[in-house]
Structure 1
Amino acid sequence: MADDRSDRRLGRGLAALIGEMDQPVQAAAAPVASDRSVPIEMIARNPNNPRRTFSDDELDDLARSMRDHGVIQPIVVRPVAGTGGGASHEIIAGERRWRAAQRAGLTEVPVIVREVDDRSALELAIVENVQRSDLNPIEEALGYRQLMDDHGYGQSDLGDVIGKSRSHVANTLRLLKLPDSVQAMVSAGDLSAGHARTLVTADDPAAIARKIVAEGLSVRQAETLAQKPVGGDDRSIGKPAKDTDLVALEKTLSDASGYRVEIQPKAKGGEVRIAYQSLEQLDDLCRLLQRQ
């Protein structure tokens, strides 16, 4: 219980800091003692930054703006020792601004310095990027997974810290169950997260993803397509059609668990079937069912 309360307090602290980070230097309600300008070569990128993709066009646009107006919003950094290239600070949030400032030919940038550990630095980076919608869904999922693997967060605790619901965290993490080729389509923006989530329990998600993109299918159409078995054979032949409530319940259970759930009613009772595609998924399913 103490850990849960600590995480909630940390979440509120992060939210307050993000609000402070969102204020331009000139508009801050009160000056921050650690705000100052740092030579750009003394700042290093954070290798654990969840954001991996930076658009050249967006960087060029931002660089042009910086040439005219400077860096309006400071970069959040932490002091480090022994960073490659002799840098004295490492970026917590603002790598896009740092990259654009280099393109603009600036020699120094305004910073907010925070004394934080690796865990808090990663939390701040994820929160800042998620609030700005700067992460693509796969980057967001990888950031969540890193916090869970490296720092022992559960989905509920993580949701509290980053200000998202547990279902949002769970649905985002489900994207990591997709094949690399499908994840690449999501990262590139060719396939939306909504479309991709319908493919998590599909028999051949890569093939369906290509069809969705090629034909411009809606999420509803993608859901229907993902429910069909490979080869197009109809498993429902000879079975009575399911009512809409039962179909909705199957979808709810599938979304909550991350696995294809099929409910088959019988004269008395019925069956609930959960499909898995690998031993790794079976292990995950067992852990899910054994949770208290």
Structure 2
Amino acid sequence: MSKRLGKGLDALLPALSINEDDKVVEIPLSQLRPNPYQPRRTFNDDSINELAASIQQHGIIQPIIVRTVLKGYEIIAGERRYRASQVCGMATISAVVKKLSDQQVMEIALIENVQREDLNAMEIAVAYQALIDQFSLTQEELSAKVGKSRSHIANFLRLLNLPEDVKQYVSRGTLSMGHAKAIIGLKDPKSIKALAELAIKEQWSVRELEEEVKKLEDKTDQKKPVLKSKKKDPYINQLEESLREVYRTTVKIKHSNNKGKIELLYYSKDDLDRLLELLQGKIS
């Protein structure tokens, strides 16, 4: 299997179009199975029922797109139409059979849903990570494939670091993407969860949540102990200065319990060669 996907939106989305050469066939619903790469995990029942009512009145206006698999067919595009047809009690559904690879199927499923804004933030994050893992993509490469900025990709991927409970809040829509971004920088998972629950309970705006995060960070900074730097031995200071004059570079002497080391810093290969010559001359 190739480790790179296709050429992006322009190369993939035409695969979803139906032209005059495509043959529309009737496929039994019992022979269909959902796309395993479908990033959408929840389907709104009311929306499916509304679509079912429309199908009962007007029929399937646009065939679904499928591919042949070992046992029957796999849905590439049109799972909502398939589910609505089940609600209607239909035996078959109009479909076009396409030849598509796993790579194309996975990316089409993500792009189709993202472009139609059918996914919630967590589903998008999981789908992006799946594409990265499955096909060894960098964030930059994924950005080009799905037509989104790298910062957009990175913001969604950061959601995967949230505590599980908070992920569920984002998934259900009780916590917005903006709220999640406000708390995701906190290091303590308990603080993240506590602020998320408060934001939901108090119905905070994103701005209000950001202010609470800032207050918490300020309190944390105040509790951090101030480390006092050790006063350096004047004798060591004098030695470092003498060595700096000899070798014309930064010199650091680190010592403890009568043991230590001398560091000479160099800034290029020529500088290193110069120091080596000086050292060899002093030793010989």
Matched residue, 1:143: 127
**2:33 counterpart of 1:44:** yes
Matched residue, 1:71: 60
Matched residue, 2:265: none
Q: Contact 2:8–2:146 at 8 Å: present in 1 too? A: no
Q: CA deviation at 1:213?
A: 1.1
Structure 1 stretches lacking a partner, 5+ long: 21-27, 238-292
One-letter code aligned to 1:121: V
Q: How many equivalent pairs are there?
A: 219
One-letter code aligned to 1:221: E
Q: Contact 1:76–1:94 at 8 Å: present in 2 too? A: yes
Query: How far apart, in 2, do the equivalents of 1:35 and 1:165 lie?
Result: 37
Query: How far apart, in 2, do the equivalents of 1:213 and 1:16 lie?
Result: 42
**2:80 counterpart of 1:80:** no
1:196 aligned to 168, 173, 180, which one? 180
Query: How far apart, in 2, do the equivalents of 1:228 and 1:122 lie?
Result: 43
Question: What is the TM-score when the length of structure 1 is the normalising length?
Answer: 0.69
Matched residue, 2:15: 17
Q: Contact 1:14–1:161 at 8 Å: present in 2 too? A: no
Query: How far apart, in 2, do the equivalents of 1:219 and 1:117 lie?
Result: 42
Matched residue, 1:235: 221
Query: How far apart, in 2, do the equivalents of 1:112 and 1:193 lie?
Result: 37
Matched residue, 1:166: 150
Helix, strand or coil: the match of 1:89? strand
Matched residue, 1:175: 159
Q: Contact 2:8–2:144 at 8 Å: present in 1 too? A: no
Structure 2 stretches lacking a partner, 5+ long: 224-284
Q: CA deviation at 1:209?
A: 0.9
2:192 aligned to 196, 202, 205, which one? 205
Which structure's CA Rg is the greater one? 2
Matched residue, 1:53: 42
Query: How far apart, in 2, do the equivalents of 1:195 and 1:140 lie?
Result: 16
Helix, strand or coil: the match of 2:221? coil
Q: In the superposition, relative to structure 1, how do residues 182 and 37 fare at CA in structure 2: closer, same or farther (>3 Å)?
A: same
Matched residue, 1:185: 169
Query: How far apart, in 1, do the equivalents of 2:183 and 2:21 lie?
Result: 47
Query: How far apart, in 2, do the equivalents of 1:32 and 1:167 lie?
Result: 40
Q: In the superposition, relative to structure 1, how do residues 16 and 46 fare at CA in structure 2: closer, same or farther (>3 Å)?
A: closer
| Root mean square deviation of aligned Cα | 2.3
Q: CA deviation at 1:182?
A: 0.6
Kindly provide the CA deviation profile for residues 166-202 of structure 1, in whole angstroms up to 9, marking residues without a partner as x.
Answer: 1111111111110110110111111111111111112
**2:73 counterpart of 1:89:** yes
Q: CA deviation at 1:47?
A: 2.5
Q: Contact 2:5–2:104 at 8 Å: present in 1 too? A: no
Moved more, 162-171 or 221-230: 221-230
Q: Contact 2:143–2:153 at 8 Å: present in 1 too? A: yes
Helix, strand or coil: the match of 1:9? coil
Helix, strand or coil: the match of 2:52? helix
* Equivalent runs, 1:249-264 vs 2, <5 Å: none
Q: Contact 1:75–1:93 at 8 Å: present in 2 too? A: yes
Matched residue, 2:96: 112
Matched residue, 1:287: none
Helix, strand or coil: the match of 1:36? strand
One-letter code aligned to 1:210: E
Query: How far apart, in 2, do the equivalents of 1:102 and 1:112 lie?
Result: 18
Matched residue, 1:272: none
1:122 aligned to 83, 87, 106, which one? 106
Q: CA deviation at 1:43?
A: 0.9
State the identity as a percent: 39
Question: What is the TM-score when the length of structure 2 is the normalising length?
Answer: 0.71
Q: Contact 1:178–1:200 at 8 Å: present in 2 too? A: yes
Runs of 4+ with >2 A deviation: 6-11, 15-18, 34-37, 226-230, 232-237
Kindly provide the CA deviation profile for residues 105-129 of structure 1, in whole angstroms up to 9, marking residues without a partner as x.
Answer: 1222122322112121110100111
